[in-house]
């Protein structure tokens, strides 16, 4: 009798587990579709909000992960008619759901945003990459120097040149500048702005240090040009003397031969 009860309860447990698993696999595709729609809308709004100055990658990574998860849920979840995604793709020319999802991916990849974050077994995370963290630390050091109370417009280039050089060298090291976008677009935009600021404010400082070199170069160039001009003017052209042969000399030579 005891063995029969054990078998009975074991059967009930297996049946309940099976029913639970089946209930989990049955998804409400409409809810999943709405979740994906909200994720795409939130990502699009975030992208526009942080389009200038560009902080798109940093600020919109969570929204983009929601888009990826929403599409994945529709691709792997089923209802009575099959996978949820099948009801929205490959059915017409518009391909609205697939088009909006692809547009989100395209925007993220064109900005190289994936270079700003760590991957976990091929899955995007919202944890900043080592390169991003190091760049931000160097940029913060430069910003702190520029905004220091001990630095003003006339001394910023001299006192903060070390921090700028470190930032610029590190950026060159992690970025392929031959590409249109060599690094995560957030970092590219920050570096472009930093270089523009430095060029505008610090070229005068650099030119003052180079003024002696420039003057020396001008003097040497002018002296070289002046030397060639004087040589050409003062030199005398020697015209070779050509003796004109007379008929008598010609006939004499012929008779002699």
Q: What is the pLDDT of residues 159-201, one digit of tens each?
A: 999 999 999 999 999 987 656 566 899 999 999 999 999 998 8
Task: Say how far apart CA 195 and CA 184 lie, in whole Å.
Answer: 17
pLDDT classification of 153: cutoffs 50, 70, 90: confident
3-class DSSP string for 107-140: HHHHCCHHHHEEEECCEEEEEECHHHHHHHHHHH
Q: Is 88's pLDDT higher than 50?
A: yes
Task: Say how far apart CA 132 and CA 99 lie, in whole Å.
Answer: 30
Q: Please choose, from the candidates 198, 195, 207, 209, the residue with its C-alpha nearest in 3D space to the C-alpha of residue 153.
A: 198
CB 122 within 8 A of CB 67: no
pTM for this predicted structure: 0.68
pLDDT classification of 250: cutoffs 50, 70, 90: low
What per-residue confidence (pLDDT) applies to 8?
A: 42
Cα diameter, the chain: 158
Q: Please choose, from the candidates 26, 22, 117, 25, the residue with its C-alpha nearest in 3D space to the C-alpha of residue 68.
A: 117
**Where is average pLDDT lowest: 20-29, 62-71, 96-105?**
20-29
pLDDT classification of 36: cutoffs 50, 70, 90: very high
Percent of the residues in the chain that have a pLDDT greater than 70, as a whole number? 71
What per-residue confidence (pLDDT) applies to 251?
A: 55
CA dihedral over 112, 118, 122, 126, signed as positive or negative = negative
Q: Is 68's pLDDT higher than 70?
A: yes
CA dihedral over 56, 62, 64, 65, signed as positive or negative = positive
What per-residue confidence (pLDDT) applies to 141?
A: 97
Measured in degrees and rounded to the nearest 5, phi and psi for residue 79 equal -125, -165
Measured in degrees and rounded to the nearest 5, phi and psi for residue 32 equal -65, -40
What per-residue confidence (pLDDT) applies to 200?
A: 87
**Where is average pLDDT lowest: 16-30, 34-48, 120-134, 211-225?**
16-30
Q: For the residues 89-102, what does the mean pLDDT come to?
A: 87
Task: Say how far apart CA 50 and CA 190 lie, in whole Å.
Answer: 13
What per-residue confidence (pLDDT) applies to 23?
A: 40
For tokens 């050509």, the residue is 242
Please state, rounded to an integer, the average pLDDT across all residues of the chain. 80
pLDDT classification of 150: cutoffs 50, 70, 90: confident
């Amino acid at each position: 009798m005891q063995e029969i009860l054990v078998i009975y309860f074991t059967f009930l447990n297996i049946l309940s587990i099976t029913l639970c698993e089946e209930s989990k696999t049955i998804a409400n595709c409409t809810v999943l579709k709405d979740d994906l729609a909200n994720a795409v809308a939130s990502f699009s709004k975030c992208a526009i909000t942080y389009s200038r100055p560009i902080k798109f990658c940093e600020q919109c990574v969570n929204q983009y992960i929601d888009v990826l998860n929403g599409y994945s849920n529709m691709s792997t979840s089923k209802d009575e008619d099959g996978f949820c995604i099948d009801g929205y793709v490959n059915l017409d020319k518009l391909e609205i759901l697939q088009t909006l999802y692809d547009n989100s991916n395209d925007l993220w990849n064109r900005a190289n945003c994936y270079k700003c974050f760590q991957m976990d077994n091929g899955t995007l995370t919202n944890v900043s990459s080592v390169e991003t963290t190091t760049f931000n630390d160097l940029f913060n050091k430069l910003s702190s120097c520029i905004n220091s109370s001990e630095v003003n417009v006339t001394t910023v280039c001299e006192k903060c040149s070390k921090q700028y050089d470190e930032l610029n060298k590190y950026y060159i090291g992690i970025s392929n500048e031959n590409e249109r976008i060599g690094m995560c677009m957030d970092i590219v935009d920050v570096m472009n702005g930093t270089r523009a600021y430095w060029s505008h404010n610090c070229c005068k400082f650099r030119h003052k240090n180079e003024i002696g070199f420039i003057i020396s170069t001008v003097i040497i160039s002018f002296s070289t040009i002046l030397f060639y001009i004087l040589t050409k003017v003062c030199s005398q052209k020697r015209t070779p003397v050509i003796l004109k042969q007379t008929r008598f000399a010609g006939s004499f030579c012929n008779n002699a031969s």
